[in-house]
Copies of this chain bind each other. A is one copy, B any other.
Amino acid sequence: MQILLLNPNTSIGITDRMVAVAKRFASPSTEIVARTAPRGVPYIATRAEALIAGAIALEMFAEHGHDADVVIVGAFGDPGLGGLRELASVPVIGLAEAAMLTACMLGRRFSIVTFAQVLGPWYEECVEYHGLTSRLAAMRLVSAPFQELTNVQYELGEAIVEIANRTGAEDKADVVILAGAPLAGLAEQIRDRVLLPLVDGVAAAVCQAETLVALRPRKAAVGSYRRPDPKLSQGLSEALSSLLSGRIAN
């Protein structure tokens, strides 16, 4: 089984971090193929950047999706998820989606803890998009500054532990999601110091990816997630243009 992990950010360090976590959680027979965005921004922090990244994720999938059995959108907030789900003939999952749906099985209400103030409202829109607002206890932001994105989980680790414990006490959360690709793997590190179960988006996405492959769902042949009708385009990447035109069908 091949999982295609698309990092719609341009930071290879974050891809590497996600791959390391993915490999720990994947079955031995699962191959993790990861791609880093060839263009875009180092780390998505706004709606505009998520939009740009979502469109780039489509290009990446068009180019690298041939052999995938399932696709993971490797950024919390799930940029491009809906579009990818239409185009791909295999299942597609986002980090936020996988984390939230998994968290729902561990308690009634989850909190989302992340490390940058600006991400909060956009993440909340993501929760609303998935129809899970009633399951959200709180969106909690660690506001401390940090030096290096790829090290943010070490720099802010203590602060995250504290916030995770506070959201249990103050927001009556049952589960805590550590949000954002740069936090991949942190849940394992701080597991014993937080009083609630933690969900790591990358780990959850890998397990859900394997679940979806195991269930062998067919591609919808009707409705709004069926493969779109072939369409001519102009000025798009060659691979994406081919995919839209129906010349290739990943």
Say whether, besides A168-B223, A196-B220, A222-B169, A51 and B55 are in contact (CB < 8 Å). yes
Q: Is the CB of B233 within 8 A of A41?
A: yes
Q: A42-B232, A122-B224 are in contact. List 9 more A-B contacts (CB 8 A).
A: A10-B234, A48-B58, A49-B231, A104-B131, A106-B217, A107-B220, A108-B225, A195-B223, A199-B215
> Would A51 and B54 count as touching, CB distance under 8 A?
yes
Within 8 A of B (CB), among A61-117: 80, 82-87, 91, 93, 97-98, 101-102, 104-109
B235:A174 contact, CB within 8 angstroms:
no
Shortest distance in angstroms between A147's beta carbon and chain B's nearest beta carbon? 16
- Specify how many copies of this chain sit in the oligomer: 6
**Interchain CB contact under 8 A, A191 and B204:** no
Would A105 and B234 count as touching, CB distance under 8 A? no
Decide if A105 touches B120 in the complex (CB within 8 Å): no
Q: Which of the 9-residue segments A12-20, A155-163, A178-186, A205-213 touches chain B?
A: A205-213
CB-CB under 8 A from A225, the residues of chain B are 106-108, 174
